[in-house]
A and B are shown apart, each in its own frame.
Chain A
Amino acid sequence: MLTEKLTVPTVFDVEQIRKDFPILHQTVNGKPLIYLDNAATSQKPLAVINTINDYYERYNSNIHRGAHHLAQLATEAYENARQTIAEHINASTKEINFVRGTTEAVNLVASTYGRKFVKAGDEIIISALEHHSNIVPWQMLCEEKGATLKVIPINLAGEIIFEEYQKLLGPKTKIVSIGYVSNALGTINPVKQIIKEAHKVGAVVFIDAAQALPHQKVDVKDLDCDFLGFSGHKVFASTGIGILYGREILLEVMPPYMGGGEMIKSVTFEKTTYNELPYKFEAGTPNIEGGIALGAAINYINSIGLENISAYEHQLLEYGTKKLLEIEDLRIIGTAANKSSVLSFLIKGVHPYDLGVLLNEQGIAVRTGHHCCQPLMDRLGIEGTCRASLAFYNTFDEIDALVAAIKKAVTKLK
């Protein structure tokens, strides 16, 4: 029960919005499901689910290659989705590549731009906050090329130390790759300033926006980033689809990633020429329904309004933080001044895994462990955390239920 009444934007009717998400209305172990694992994956509104059903019921067909009616409908829907996504992040369609997810976006840039332009002795900069997907591809590239991976240090609040970043930059820096929002801690990085500094030394910047897109406006022109990746399944669309944005002049000079159908202009055994952007990086039959559904997901969140979503989630975050800190021996991990709606925490004397298991017994879905950020956990001197990550369909009552469930679990575990 809410003990205080909070003012929320009146345009935001969360109960109405929740009706759009069928999966939220079920019980787990006899208790109402409370889904607080949105940083791992988001739930899907009917608008997205129905789009996928409609695609397979009405017009499934391979795209870009058929003369028939269904093929035209499918191609149109796919390319309209690309247009929607391009407009959403203020890019042109030539700069929008459909990939499988953020991990593939990073790997694509490392394998193509990285392989071509990074040489022995060059440097690549990442931060200590990064997800493994924004570490390992760069490690692999550095190993292959004889380049060095440098890591921006963080403070104990989970913020990058900007002055240290500036010291790392130099004439050898070729690529800077940074998460916009930390999946483990919720830290929002000062990416615009990071990009500006990197450009001063002639380095390109990749932004991992997987945890940013679901919660806030992202404008690639305003950021002036060179590459940006995000995953459909985190932004209320299906799995197996994501986007790589790349500045057109860079994508033009990058060699292809995968070879095959679609990405070619002409093929002979003597020589093959490649297709123009954006198709150069889209070999084979793609996840067509995923691309179309991603367009539907973007339209859905825009129908609610990102400003409304951000404002509501900010209130949830503040409320959640306040309520969690009332629990004895609980400490929030990730206390950056600028945060997204992630609540990572530890309770003294309680293993996060045990807590996660007992929360599940009460119908609450959180994530425990290192959150695919082992180096970050090492830096913070911990094995892992318990993480509740919020979305715009979570409620204040759900936060109250989380707090009550934690208290109940802790009395058993201590």
Chain B
Amino acid sequence: MNKPIQEIEDEIVEEFELFDEREGKYDLIIDMGKKLKPLDPKYLKEDYLVRGCQAKVWLHAYKEGELIFFEADSDAIITKGIIALLMRALSGQKPKDILDSQLLFIDRIHLRALLTSQRSNGLTAMIQRIKAYAGAFA
């Protein structure tokens, strides 16, 4: 069982608080992106594409017991870093907890200020898709 979403969010905020400057935050996101486990190539297909960004994002979800797990990938490193944050917070959680989560950490780390409007739309699209899966698996 994963930690509660709120606890994970607090950890993420603490990690980002170590960096005052934008450059440091980008470095952290890029580092997370580099460490993200690659997605099985069988999911790198049209059916799993999340639209809304200049970079491609593939998202796959599956249920194990009462928990939903997400795996995702992108062809852009910064997008992978953002994916890594979302996976960390939401993967391995119960559908209801995912649906109820407001993901306030995004505002607390001022993530959208680091993103272009296109990438911000992409982030929104990813969150919507994740919540849609949660709703479907609930």
Question: Is residue A29 within 8 Å, beta carbon to beta carbon, of the partner chain?
Answer: yes
Determine whether the beta carbon of A357 is less than 8 Å from that of B23. Answer: no
Q: Is B22 an interface residue (CB 8 A)?
A: yes
Minimum distance in angstroms from B113 CB to a CB of chain A:
11
* Size of the chain B interface, CB-CB below 8 angstroms: 15
Q: Within B29-61, which residues are at the interface with A (CB < 8 Å)? A: 30, 54-56
Report the Cα distance A358→B119, complex, angstroms.
13
Choose from B22, B23, B27, B78 the contact partner of A354 (Cβ within 8 Å). Answer: B78
Interchain nearest-CB distance for B44 vs A (Å): 14
Are A351 and B76 in touch, CB under 8 angstroms? yes
Say yes or no for A161: interface residue by CB 8 A criterion. no
Distance from A372 Cβ to chain B, minimum over Cβ atoms (Å): 13
Q: Does A361 contact B (CB under 8 A)?
A: yes
A214 sits at the interface (CB 8 A): no
* Chain B CB within 8 A of A5 CB: no
B77 part of interface (Cβ distance < 8 Å): yes
In the complex the two chains form, what is the Cα distance from A29 to B24 in whole Å?
13
Q: What is the number of residues of chain A that contact chain B, defined by CB distance less than 8 Å?
A: 14
Determine if A351 and B77 form an interchain contact, defined as CB atoms under 8 angstroms apart.
Answer: yes
Complex contact A361–B26 (CB within 8 A):
yes
How far is the CB of A202 from the nearest CB of chain B, in Å? 43
| B102 on interface, CB distance cutoff 8 Å | no
Let me know if B26 and A353 touch, CB within 8 A: no
Q: Which residues of A contact B116 (CB under 8 A)?
A: 357
Assess the B22–A357 pair: CB atoms within 8 A. no
For the complex, what is the distance from the CA of A358 to the CA of B26, rounded to whole Å?
A: 9
Q: Is B17 an interface residue (CB 8 A)?
A: no
**A306 vs chain B, min Cβ distance (A):** 35
CA distance A368 to B54 in the complex (A): 9
Q: Which residues of B contact A369 (CB under 8 A)?
A: 54
Taking CB atoms, residues of chain B closer than 8 Å to A276 are none
A353 touches B22 (CB 8 A): no
Task: Please report the C-alpha to C-alpha distance between residue A369 and residue B23 in the assembled complex, in whole angstroms.
Answer: 23
Bound-state CA distance A29–B26 (Å) is 13
Contact among B27, B30, B55 for A353, CB-based, below 8 A: B55
Q: Does B14 contact A (CB under 8 A)?
A: no
Closest CB in chain A relative to B73 CB, distance in Å: 12
Q: Cβ of B26 and Cβ of A351 under 8 Å apart?
A: no
Instruction: Enumerate chain B residues within 8 angstroms of A144, measured Cβ to Cβ.
Output: none
Chain A residues with Cβ below 8 Å from B75 are 351, 383
- The answer to whether B30 touches A384, judged by C-beta atoms less than 8 angstroms apart, is no
Please report the C-alpha to C-alpha distance between residue A354 and residue B23 in the assembled complex, in whole angstroms.
13
- A residues with CB within 8 A of B: 29, 350-351, 353-354, 357-358, 361, 368-369, 383-384, 412-413
Listed from nearest, the 9 A-B pairs whose CB atoms lie closest are A351-B76, A353-B54, A354-B78, A354-B76, A369-B54, A354-B77, A353-B76, A353-B55, A413-B77
